[in-house]
Amino acid sequence: MKQITQLGATIEEAISIALQQLNTTRNQVEVEVLQEAKKGFLGFGARQAEVRVTLKEVEIENPISIDENDALDEVNYSLAEKISVVEEEINEQPPVSEAIIEDDSTLVEEQEDPIESAKNYLIDIAKDMGIEDLTIETQKQGKNILFRLESEKAALLIGKRGATLNALQQLAQLVVNKSAKSFLMVKLDVEDYRERRQKALELLAERMADKAIHTGKKVSFEPMPSYERKVIHNALANRVDIETHSEGTEPNRYLVIEPVR
């Protein structure tokens, strides 16, 4: 837990200085007034205001209500099964170069655009989730493809801590590369969730690192995908007072922070 005790001519001035020191905003901290400012008489007995400002514990945004959690668990279980099925289909299908050719010049079946295939697949899955208004925009840059999803039920597409979005992304990755001529990297995003998640992870990384130093013990994160663990590794790369490493096996691999002794 990161906190700072700050003096100021007034309480508000002390708070403002503390917020600058912590590089944060007023709604992200808790303020405790330790003493009021006092003017004194003829310069005697004057004292400054003193406050203790503490950063609130970070909770990575989870827009899902408690009542929806059970339903989302079923959705994620279903998506995990779909991932397994698609992986089996990919393993069983012959390489594109071995496609049957008619008259030595014409393919019997034309290859469907892999990006359109993935878009249609995601829309069908969304309908199974009760999402009828899903729209998808795509951006392709080199071997990277970004799918921007929009829906009134965006929270359902994201799921608990992004679990549903991660599963959908893995499915889209598999479907795209099922027919692509070369490997493509797929990223799914909903309402800039990825950017918000990254900022929250970076803030959480600093908080957990400070906790490890304060307690002198290692601290562990919840299991998360490799690219989220990489965000935390990168956020703490310049700190010399802690070390980070991953433990466990996928999909339950997690990151650990240890203080340097």
DSSP 180-205: -SS--EEEEEETTHHHHHHHHHHHHH
The CATH number of the domain covering residues in 66-191? 3.30.300.20
Return the pLDDT at 103.
45
pLDDT in tens, 179-200: 888 899 999 999 999 999 999 9
Give residue limits of the domains in the chain.
3-55, 66-191, 195-259
What is d(CA 5, CA 215) in angstroms, rounded to the nearest whole number? 20
Return the pLDDT at 74.
61
* Helices assigned H by DSSP within the chain: 11-22, 66-92, 114-128, 154-158, 163-179, 193-215, 226-235
Return the pLDDT at 57.
60
The fraction of the chain above a pLDDT of 90, given in percent, is 36
CATH classification (class only), 3-55: alpha beta
Amino acid, res. 203? L
pTM: 0.62
Give CATH superfamily name and number for 195-259: R3H-like domain (3.30.1370.50)
Three-state secondary-structure class, residue 261 = coil
Return the pLDDT at 234.
94
**Residue matched to tokens 């892999």:** 114
Return the pLDDT at 43.
58
**What's the mean pLDDT when you consider all of the chain?**
81
pLDDT by residue for the chain (261 residues), tens only, comes to 578 888 888 888 888 888 877 777 776 778 888 888 877 665 566 788 888 888 776 555 555 444 445 555 566 667 777 777 777 776 666 554 444 444 444 444 456 788 999 999 999 999 988 899 999 999 999 999 999 999 999 999 998 878 889 889 989 999 998 888 889 999 999 999 999 999 999 999 998 898 899 889 999 988 888 889 999 999 999 999 999 999 988 878 899 999 997
Question: What's the helix, strand, coil split of the chain in %, to 5?
Answer: 45, 25, 30
Half-sphere exposure of 251 (CA within 13 A, CB side): 6
Using only the alpha carbons of the chain, give its radius of gyration. 26
Please calculate the CA angle 179-82-66 and round it to the nearest 5 degrees.
Answer: 135
> Which residues lie closer than 8 Å to 91 by C-beta, 6 or more apart?
none
For residue 200, the Cα-to-chain-centroid distance in whole angstroms is 8
